[in-house]
Chain A
Amino acid sequence: MIAAIFIFLSGVLVTWIEFRRAGRQINRKEQILFLFILGIGIGLSMLKAIGVPIPNPMDFAIAFYHPFYDLLIEFFGQKGS
């Protein structure tokens, strides 16, 4: 719980520092994108810190690429290596 709070605070801190630095140079679109991506990162980290089970995106990546890998294995005639 404490870890999640710290992660959240560091997210706020990062936002504050970044916006201060940029001053007026930043436009609306950039602001939204920044907050959006930062939100994903901070949110996921907080969920992990609390202990909420999150599906691992790597499993999907593996499922996506596995057929191609099998093709390669078959082509090279290697078994499992």
Chain B
Amino acid sequence: MNQEEKISSYQLLLLATFFTVGSSILELPSTLVTIAEQDAWIAMLLGIAISAIMVGLYLLLIRQYPGKNLHQINEAVFGRKIGGIVSFYLTAMTFFLGPPTVIYYLGRFLSIQIMVETPASSTHLLYGLLAIFAVALGIEVIARVAEILFPIFFILYLGLMLLLIPLVEFERLQPVFEHDFKTLLWASIFYVQFSCFPIIIMLTSFQGKVTQQKKAPKAFFLGNFFGGSILFITTLISVLVLGKLTALFNFPSYVLAQKINVGDFIQRIEMVITVMWFITLFFKLVLYFDSAVVGFAEILKIKNHRFLVVPLGILIIYFSLTNFPNDVYQLNQDKTTWIPHSFFLGVLYPIVVLIIGFVQGKLKEKRKGIHRPSESKGG
């Protein structure tokens, strides 16, 4: 049944966009401005450049092994045992650190800004159940939901940014390039750690399911780029409107929406950003979750991966409630664990696989005298 799931390349583009925007649209400007101050937008540009290179690398990786998802590539490259361990480590760690944090973000946002008295457990449970439901229905349904929700998201986003233009003050950008390259690079890592490195996990869920095979890599690349541009504009507007204050808020985009006041008529529309954030977080959560389900099924050699959805979903809800004793712990944890982990997942791992695959290919070439990189190696 799952083999027949098909999505179009346009849907893939939208999913990649949503994954890139994800939780960052509310939080990212704050982190970037904390580090790079008024140069945050340059750091963002740098981040987009880095993610373009990295996504290109991921696409190169799957082009070398057509028709295989990440775990099958692992097996082909590292052999069955080591490949299994590598797959398990990456999948389990991403599963443990990723989706619970996404739910926690949502719960935190809701209980800080909107529904202060509602206990976090009920929002976590509701959102977790929604994710379980979505993943159980399969990636095809999720992709269609993306197609429906994207116009809503995009119109709201565009409206928000246009309404903020009257508040823009260009002086807040100066002095440009006050910070050195290293600082900007460090700031840009906070973008790529959420939006670019982990996007590699999407390759587990989607490999071989996109109908237009030739357009798929382009769609994936463009989706990431498009999401990056959305975040770039958000960061730029945050700096232009709030300046240094961006760093002081937990959710600067929400404050931006609060500041909109067009002729005392269009005002108090901050719920718009909540809707947007619900949409993007949903896809971030579901894509992490789905890739974990597919990954675990692959590692444990189960054909029907639907069976893993509910138990893993319950684990996600449990972790989201117990992993983080408080907000500050979560913020620190996010930096200390997620930056190195996403670095392993999104930089070290694909490069190692590419190098080993390349060397193996050369060896094989010598032995057989023919160039067929798509054949399984080392298995």
Contact, chains A and B (beta carbon distance below 8 A): yes
Contact in complex: B311, A57 (CB < 8 Å): no
Give the segment of B55-63, B165-173, B267-275, B336-344 that binds chain A.
B336-344
Is B310 engaged at the interface, CB distance under 8 Å to the other chain? yes
Asked if A38 meets B310 with Cβ closer than 8 Å, knowing A26-B304, A69-B339, A69-B340, the reply is: yes
Contact in complex: B182, A76 (CB < 8 Å): yes
Closest to A15 in B: B310
Q: A65: which B residues are within 8 A, CB to CB?
A: 336-337, 340-341
Contact in complex: B315, A61 (CB < 8 Å): no
B302 is contacted by which of A11, A33, A54 (Cβ under 8 Å)?
A: A33
Contact in complex: B324, A77 (CB < 8 Å): no
Contact in complex: B337, A62 (CB < 8 Å): yes
- In this complex, the member of A14, A61, A66, A77 whose beta carbon has the largest number of chain B beta carbons within 10 angstroms is A61
0/1 string, B153-184, CB within 8 A of A gives 1: 00000000000000000000000000000110
- In this complex, the member of A18, A54, A65, A77 whose beta carbon has the largest number of chain B beta carbons within 10 angstroms is A65
The docked-state distance in angstroms from the alpha carbon of A57 to that of B337 is: 12
Is B97 engaged at the interface, CB distance under 8 Å to the other chain? yes
Asked if A41 meets B318 with Cβ closer than 8 Å, knowing A56-B323, A65-B341, A72-B340, the reply is: yes
Main secondary structure of the interface of A (DSSP, over half): helix
Contact in complex: B311, A34 (CB < 8 Å): yes
Which residues of chain B in 311-340 are interfacial with respect to chain A, using CB atoms and an 8 Å cutoff?
A: 311-312, 314-315, 318-319, 321-325, 333, 335-337, 339-340
Contact in complex: B333, A58 (CB < 8 Å): yes
Contact in complex: A26, B307 (CB < 8 Å): yes
How big is the B interface, by class? Answer: 35 or more
Contact in complex: A56, B322 (CB < 8 Å): yes
Is B35 engaged at the interface, CB distance under 8 Å to the other chain? yes
Which residues of chain B in 275-330 are interfacial with respect to chain A, using CB atoms and an 8 Å cutoff?
A: 300, 302, 304, 307-308, 310-312, 314-315, 318-319, 321-325
Q: B318: which A residues are within 8 A, CB to CB?
A: 41, 44-45, 48
0/1 string, A31-46, CB within 8 A of B gives 1: 0011011101110110
Contact in complex: B311, A76 (CB < 8 Å): no
Contact in complex: A57, B323 (CB < 8 Å): yes
Contact in complex: A61, B337 (CB < 8 Å): yes
Contact in complex: B314, A42 (CB < 8 Å): yes
Q: A33: which B residues are within 8 A, CB to CB?
A: 300, 302, 307-308
Is A29 engaged at the interface, CB distance under 8 Å to the other chain? yes
Q: A22: which B residues are within 8 A, CB to CB?
A: 304, 307
Contact in complex: B311, A61 (CB < 8 Å): no
A18 is contacted by which of B97, B307, B315, B343 (Cβ under 8 Å)?
A: B307
Is B186 engaged at the interface, CB distance under 8 Å to the other chain? yes
0/1 string, B196-233, CB within 8 A of A gives 1: 00000000000000000000000000000000000000
The docked-state distance in angstroms from the alpha carbon of A62 to that of B337 is: 6
The docked-state distance in angstroms from the alpha carbon of A22 to that of B136 is: 13
B321 is contacted by which of A36, A37, A42, A48 (Cβ under 8 Å)?
A: A48
Give the interface of B toward A (CB within 8 A).
34-35, 93, 96-97, 182-183, 185-186, 189, 300, 302, 304, 307-308, 310-312, 314-315, 318-319, 321-325, 333, 335-337, 339-341, 343
The 8 closest A-B pairs by CB, nearest first: A37-B311, A68-B340, A41-B314, A38-B311, A76-B186, A65-B337, A41-B315, A69-B336
Pairs across A and B, CB under 8 Å, 10 listed:
A30-B304, A30-B307, A36-B311, A37-B311, A38-B311, A40-B315, A54-B322, A57-B96, A57-B319, A72-B340
